[in-house]
Amino acid sequence: MTTRLTGLLLVLPALAMVLLFFILPLSASVIGAFEVETGFGLANFVKAFDFYSQDMLFTLVIVCLSTVLIGLLAIAIGGYLTLGENPRAVAILRNLYRWPMFIPFIVVGQVMRTFLAKNGLMNSTLAASGLIDPAQAVSLLDWRGIVIAFVWKQTPFVALLVAGSMASLDRGTIEAARNLGASRLRILVEIVVPQVARTIMVGLILSFVTMMSVLSVPLMINAQSPTMLTADIAFRINAYGDYGTANALGTISLVMSAAAALIYLRMTLRERS
Amino acid sequence: MKIVLKAALATGLLASPATAAELTVLTAGDQNMVDYVNEYLAPLFEEQNPGNTVRVVGTGPGDAGSQKIVERSEAQGKANAETWDYDVAVVHEKFVGPLVKAGYLEQYRDRISTGKLVTRANADMALGTDVKGYVMPMFNSQTALAYNPALVSNPPKSYEELVNWAKENPGKFGYNGIKGGASGVSFVMGWIYAFGEGDANKLMNGPFEEAETKKWDGALASLKDFTTNAQLTPGNAGTLDMLSRGEIAIGPVWVDMFYSWQANGQLPPEFKLVLPEPGMPGQPMHYVIPSKATDVKLAEKFVELATSPKVQAEGIVERFSWYPGIDAQHVQAELEPASWNKLFTDVTPEDLAKNGKPFPIAPYNSAILEAYERSVSN
């Protein structure tokens, strides 16, 4: 009995922290989404869909597209680190790919804003090297800019997880396939990726949720319409002090993130059963 | 040892002059607002009131900054705080009304000597709320279209002409929508004044009628169409940035930002401004003092200094190219004609009188923004 009590006491501070700083604000925000002047209702959600339905779709498409690209690039990087045959190229890649991970989102936004602008660094370089005509330069500071920033920033994180997991694979399977004459691409797709699929999913779902919550990148690259829900939430609060609609938008993005988590949970459950 | 420490502490406490106080000034707006107080106003005030210090806190650009000041006041008002954590605040016009209505502010204008130097209507009414006596305007600002004469030889003089110009030159007009600062908001309000079916004067002066908000559908539909030919910029500064890089040829900007960027060399000197018909809005920033300020008298002194003709001439007009807050004739007397005229190089006083408009009163203001979100950006 006493040991059970001590156990409870020991877990209490952590539990209190979770309750006080996570569950409480979260439920306040979700409840706030349903609060209207006359009590409870769906008015905030009606307004949110009325104003921002396009932005909801936009957010979902951007984040899904980024997640897919991140997955492909992370597998490519991890695959080369595991199967690459040129030791120098592997060493260079290993040392370089992690850098973006240590750069905050707001700095990524700032860097991309000057890099991708119509007359920004990228187009100026291309124009100077004669690859494009300055007149046809286009600005990438729209949805493409956001996708580029997200992929650039999140790929190293997923690649780090994936590469670690690939490195710990039993090399016997890879070598057996190679002995039988399989190409490296085929080994990657048929032998390596299936074995690390769960790690890839974990990395991608964490990235998905992170990207759902980023405000700085859409704000700096494309705060106009259509934009991501985070920018709309900030705008509702900053310009109108309208916490109701902001909470409704927050709840909607929570549902999107929860859907991703649910897919993941069902997948792992199926694997275990 | 202990005694020595105690003695040192005691002398330290006694040595500070009895009147010393720290005046906290909150200011909404871009970094230039903070710089203005830090680099110019605070040193001047500290010199004239020895022993007192001024601490300035910027609350962020645009309406969001003022909204924070309102929320901070509400929090302290509801908590029945004895003294508030700020003594003077600089807020946008739209947020003065709610502060006055909530009874948070001191009616101080008649008590300070510069109070009678202000007669402009927007110091008495703020977007439909009577605020007479509660505010002193820090400066007046105006939006206009900035353009690059190399790309626009014959600038549009009205919204109508602008629409035609943008059709002929797709992608060369840029504005920052309504989420990235007030110059875009101002452009949208001007659009409703120009093309809305209702009476623009009613929007500016009230009263608020629900029926009026139904008269903008046509104007908003045409704005949506217009926006497909326009570029959306990331903010007030973003529009100026894109202008200077030649990515757009024309766009709405704040007149003071335009002049100060030009003075800093961030914009080419040949760029020009035009204030199109039937007009674009401008607004004052106001000094307000909460009734629960720690030291209302000292706060009044600060505002008195800030709105004195000399400071308005040197600080507001010369340094920052803002239009003065107090009546122009008092300020003009303090300045060389050349510095005064610099304010009116492109936009003449006649243009200002004719096409410088106030923003719509608060309820119309919010209704237009929401209608824009519903029909233009969604």
Q: Do B63 and A118 touch (CB under 8 A)?
A: no
From residue A257, give the alpha-carbon distance in Å to each of A32, A211, A247, B142: 19, 10, 15, 43
Contacts (Cβ under 8 Å, ≥6 apart) of B13? none
Query: In 3D, which of A267, A82, A74, A70 has the Cα closest to residue A169?
Result: A82
* Residues across chain B: 378
CB contact A239 to B (< 8 Å): yes
The amino acid that residue B207 corresponds to is P
Of B180, B246, B374, the CB nearest to A223: B180
Q: B116: which 2 tokens?
A: 């009678």
What is the spatial distance between Cα A201 and Cα A25, in angstroms, rounded to a whole number?
29
Of A119, A220, A231, the CB nearest to B246: A119
Q: How many helices (H) and strands (E) does chain A have?
A: 13, 2
In degrees and rounded to multiples of 5, residue B271 shows phi and psi of -65, 150
What is the spatial distance between Cα B233 and Cα A158, in angstroms, rounded to a whole number?
32
Chain position carrying tokens 């239009």: B323
**Residue B238 to chain A, least CA–CA distance (Å):** 10
What is the spatial distance between Cα A24 and Cα A194, in angstroms, rounded to a whole number?
40
Share of chain B above pLDDT 90, in %: 49
Interstrand relation of B173-175 and B230-232 (parallel, antiparallel or unpaired)? parallel
Reported as type and span, the H/E element at residue B272 is: strand B272-274
Query: In 3D, which of B266, B264, B230, B235 has the Cα closest to residue B248?
Result: B230
Mean pLDDT is lowest, of B87-96, B138-147, B354-363, for B354-363
Residues of chain B with CATH 3.40.190.10: 2-140+283-342, 141-282+348-375
| CA dihedral of A127, A130, A134, A135, whole degrees rounded to 10 | -160
Domain ranges of chain A: 33-272
pLDDT of residue A162: 94
pLDDT of residue B17: 44
pLDDT of residue B15: 46
Of B64, B234, B247, the CB nearest to A239: B64
Mean pLDDT is lowest, of A81-90, B55-64, B343-352, B365-374, for B343-352
Query: In 3D, which of B161, B162, B141 has the Cα closest to residue B358?
Result: B141
For all residues of chain B together, what is the average pLDDT?
A: 88
Q: How confident is the model at residue B160 (pLDDT cuts 50, 70, 90)?
A: very high
**Burial zone of B215 (CB within 10 Å; 0-12 exposed, 13-18 middle, 19+ buried):** middle
DSSP 3-state assignment of B290?
strand
pTM: 0.77
Contacts of A57 in chain B (CB under 8 A): none
Domain A33-272 class? mainly alpha
Query: In 3D, which of A164, A115, A149, A154 has the Cα closest to residue A219?
Result: A149
Of B64, B177, B246, the CB nearest to A224: B177
Quick: pLDDT tens for B271-329: 999 999 899 999 899 999 999 999 999 999 999 999 999 999 998 888 888 888 888 88
| Residue B14 pLDDT exceeds 50 | no
pLDDT of residue B125: 87
DSSP 3-state assignment of A163?
helix
* Residues across chain A: 273
From residue A270, give the alpha-carbon distance in Å to each of A190, A264, A265, A266, B376: 21, 10, 9, 6, 46
Q: Please name every residue paired with B43 in a beta bridge, in sequence order, or none if there are none.
A: none
Of B234, B242, B378, the CB nearest to A51: B378
In degrees and rounded to multiples of 5, residue B286 shows phi and psi of -115, 145
Beta carbons of A147 and A218 less than 8 angstroms apart: no
What is the spatial distance between Cα B235 and Cα B85, in angstroms, rounded to a whole number?
31
CB contact A56 to B (< 8 Å): no
Q: Do B369 and A238 touch (CB under 8 A)?
A: no
Chain A residue closest to B67 (CA)?
A238
pLDDT of residue B25: 95
Collect the ranges in chain A with pLDDT lower than 70: 1, 223-225, 272-273
Rounded mean pLDDT of B333-362? Answer: 84
Rounded mean pLDDT of B15-23? Answer: 64
Domain B141-282+348-375 class? alpha beta
pLDDT of residue A5: 87
Q: How confident is the model at residue B7 (pLDDT cuts 50, 70, 90)?
A: low
CB contact B373 to A (< 8 Å): yes
Contacts of A117 in chain B (CB under 8 A): 242, 245, 247
ipTM of this model? 0.70
Q: How confident is the model at residue B6 (pLDDT cuts 50, 70, 90)?
A: low
From the CB of residue A60, how many other CB atoms can be counted at a distance below 10 Å?
16
Q: A58: which 2 tokens?
A: 């936009």
Quick: pLDDT tens for B33-50: 898 999 999 999 999 999
Of A52, A225, A241, the CB nearest to B71: A241
The CATH number corresponding to B2-140+283-342 among 3.40.50.300, 3.40.190.10, 3.40.50.10490, 1.20.1740.10 equals 3.40.190.10
Share of chain B above pLDDT 70, in %: 95
pLDDT of residue A138: 78
Contacts (Cβ under 8 Å, ≥6 apart) of B345? B273
Chain A residue closest to B371 (CA)?
A51
pLDDT of residue B333: 85
**Residue A184 to chain B, least CA–CA distance (Å):** 45
From first CA to last CA, the distance across chain A in angstroms is 35
What is the spatial distance between Cα B172 and Cα B158, in angstroms, rounded to a whole number?
17
CB contact B375 to A (< 8 Å): no
Q: How confident is the model at residue B4 (pLDDT cuts 50, 70, 90)?
A: low
CB contact A136 to B (< 8 Å): no
Chain B residue closest to A110 (CA)?
B234
Please give the interface size between A and B, counted as residue pairs whose CB atoms are below 8 Å apart: 66
pLDDT of residue A225: 66
Q: How confident is the model at residue B13 (pLDDT cuts 50, 70, 90)?
A: very low
pLDDT of residue B307: 94
| Residue B214 pLDDT exceeds 90 | no
pLDDT of residue B229: 84
